[in-house]
Structure 1
Amino acid sequence: MSSRGNRHTLTIRHVQQEDFGNYSCVADNSLGRSKKYMEVSGRPGPADFLSPPWSRSTDSFNLTWKVESYPPLQEVRLLYRKLMMNETFQQPGRWNDVILTPTPRPPSEPLTHVMAFTLRGLQHSSVYEAIVQAKNRYGWNEVSDIFQFYTQRISSDTHSEEMQVASSTSRSGATSLHRTPPTSTVFPWTLMAAVLSLLASFIGTSGGLVAYTRSMQLIG
């Protein structure tokens, strides 16, 4: 054990099975006492997923994760499920259970176990969840955090959506043409001007009635 000021460190070298267990640290001063506990366990640490969430495939996904463990891993349990989703709710499906046997880790990675598994037969345009749990000779670790991943959409879905958008745009353009108001004809205004001219001739001449009659004959 080493101390530097108020910092105290206990270092356990060449950890053996008898070193595993609960450790407590007690500190006293004139104001009282404080105690903290910590467990040193030989069980694996929680798994961390390394895969990006977006798949390049419509029906498969390559899951990659790592686990820290001093002893070799004996068994790994992978569970995954599909999420049923729409605009108002999401409902998880049933877990699918896969049991894996780890391969021996390389000497350059004495504590880190990196594993991968490809899930096949997935549905396109879907959301899935996965968790991992690992076991060594000291027992199972805690279940990992949930990892969400997504499968690609098939090209026909994208093409269908583009056709629907194009069709909708065409219908919208056709409708706008029907809404264009018709151009007003000038015939009623020409007839009105002719009538006014005839009335002026009728009033402004002594033979107004005769002039009006002749004008009507000309119009006829």
Structure 2
Amino acid sequence: MLLSLKHNFLFVHIAKTGGTSVRATLSKYRYQGPWGVPMFLANKLDQISGHRIGAKFPRHAKAIAAREMLPAELYDGLFKFVFVRNPWDLQVSSFFHIRKERPHVLEGVETFEQFVRLKFDPERPWNYMLDTSRELQRDYVVDLRGNRIVDFIGHYESLQEDFDTICDRIGIPRVALPHRRKAEGRDDFRRYYTDETARMVGEHYREDIEMFGYRFDG
């Protein structure tokens, strides 16, 4: 999550949706304005304390966390935006990312099918690297009653175009997004699925698919 009081925006960062590139581009606006120094000091104190004092929002905090913590008039006045991604594509991206960055998490897992079965095994203990992208994207944009509480939902599939819209809305220059954490050697996501694993992902992310209009074939 990235908050800029000067430019009046809140970026809700869902894992594996292009958010690292968005965050890298917008980070320079984070500490601008009269509240910049207190926010910077709070961030550093939180890091020094091992995140024990809760002085900043976690990287992948949900919108409801900001709504609960910020004054209502401040939250309501922010331009709140998020990016989402086709759930089937997201799982392939997650597989390649973990295999590259944290291979020990996938010890004994050789194929994408094994990855999906491990990830959605209800008997397996929770693991941050596996389960951050197991959460529903829908939960990042709604309150406890299921009401949408963000202003703009961008899509990974139109990342630059939607980011341009965001830049126009918050009054900053348009800029080409860097491509951070690009996966190497991966094919179209559909090629990694069997009928069974496609069904497993579709069932788990049914609410995301309904809310954001995604399909397996497009």
Instruction: Report which of the two has the higher share of helix.
Output: 2
Q: Same fold (TM over 0.5)?
A: no
Q: Higher Cα Rg: structure 1 or 2?
A: 1
| Higher RCO (C-alpha under 8 Å, 6+ residues apart) | 2
Instruction: Report which of the two has the higher share of strand.
Output: 1
TM-score normalised to the size of structure 1?
0.21
TM-score normalised to the size of structure 2?
0.21
